[in-house]
Structure 1
Amino acid sequence: MSRISVRGFAVASATAVTTVGAVVGVASGDTQPSNDNFEATAADTTLLADIPAGQQAQVQTASLTQQADAQAYAADVTAKKSAEESARLQAAKDAKSKKEAAEAKAEAAAEAKAKAKAKAEAEAKEREEEKQATASRSATRDASSFAAKGSYTVAEVQAMARQMVPGDQFQCFSNIVNHESTWNYQAQNPSSGAYGLVQALPGSKMSSAGADWQTNPATQIKWGLNYMDERYGSPCGAWSFWQANNWY
């Protein structure tokens, strides 16, 4: 049998790997080289012929086992890298989700804080307005504090009203009086008998505020203010009703 180099030959049958070198092909019979360059020239080349016939099969089996182990190792490395990449991507996705959730929570907390602040400010403003309104009401003059006169101009009557009606209610009171009597404290409706600034019907109702109800605008203002407060809660409540019905 001729000495055939294991390295670099294609053979007719099985595949084997030398114990020290590369994967090779060997033939069970004689094989002719297709190129002179494939002849064994290196001293370190393991020759299949150098291996006893009884061990050649073992060498081939060991070589195939090494191939399988190498492929399995490569597959494990690839699978490990794939798993690590998947884990990295999932970790990044989880981190992003946590960040978005944290941002949403922070935004909701900020919005709730802003609403609470706005509510507190609105309540504080409402309390301050009520405080001012209370102070304004307490500062108003009573009808008896005005000296009686024989007659009064519209400007004088309006000045009385400004001093007797709470500041936040004066405009509503003024709107009603302007529609009812144009600030004429002696105005009388010839058909109904309504009388005075607020057109009390009958006019004698105003006697509950003072006996001089026919001649004293302050008495009429006092009665009209009490009437609006008792029936509508305030002059502005009365004005809202008047706008809807053209009477109050």
Structure 2
Amino acid sequence: MPSAPTSALSRRALRVARRRRVRARITATLAVASGIALGGVLTSGAAAVAAELPIVDAAVAPTLQEVADDAQATVDAAHAALAAADALTAEVAQSGLEVEGVVEVDTDELHTALEELDDAEGVQLLREMEAVEVIDDHVDDVTTETADLRARFDLARQQKAEAEAAAAAAQAEAEAAAALAAANTPDGARATAAHLAATQYGWGSDQFQCLNSLWQKESDWNYQAVNPSSGATGIPQSLPGDKMAAAGPDWQTNATTQIRWGLDYIARAYGTPCAAWAHSQATDWY
């Protein structure tokens, strides 16, 4: 099993030292009260001691209970550590993710140590203090392994989420590129213009016929069209071309941006496409 972190080792050492001091105090008190030596370790539970040695100092009983409560807390922590480890192991297995390293927490030694205590609880645990200390060690090991697996599992989930986000972004970019390519054809530009004219300006098919004639004359609906003499640019033949930047920074490569600018220009300057077309027929420009 992996070594416990330094902080965990320190906590473990403090717990062990504390238990040994408490046990030594209890043993010394019992020895004085009973006139017998108990070999430096507890050999029976608090209830049994009280029954066999009724003259025990009253200060011993609370100390015995303190040790028993501490032991019970260790056993409870062991069950909690096992539950957390088992739940995480199952979660990792069900996820189907590729997690680096071992994908389950080794809980065999902790299970075995707990089984040695059978169903002991409360002051009965005083008889099994060495087993409790073994359990304490294994709890630290299982907790450390669980934390390590959780970190690796979280990393795998993060990497999966990032990969999915990247794939989604790539898909969206591909779809946007396909849509742009479609809109940049003459037929695609016409369809885009008809949709925007109807939804944003309320211009129906009659107005679109005028718009179609106007921009067919100006540019053949070619977003790359440039008038060699005037420098007018794009589908609406903006002069200069960079005026269309008001509709978007991609005005040089996006027919839709040019169309948005052109429709706005017609609405502001002429009111309708048919009015702009009439002006173009009369003056050869609009």
Structure with larger Rg: 1
Which one has more relative contact order, counting CA pairs under 8 Å at least 6 apart?
2
For the criterion TM > 0.5, the same-fold answer is no
* TM-score, length basis structure 1: 0.39
Indicate the structure with greater helix content. Answer: 2
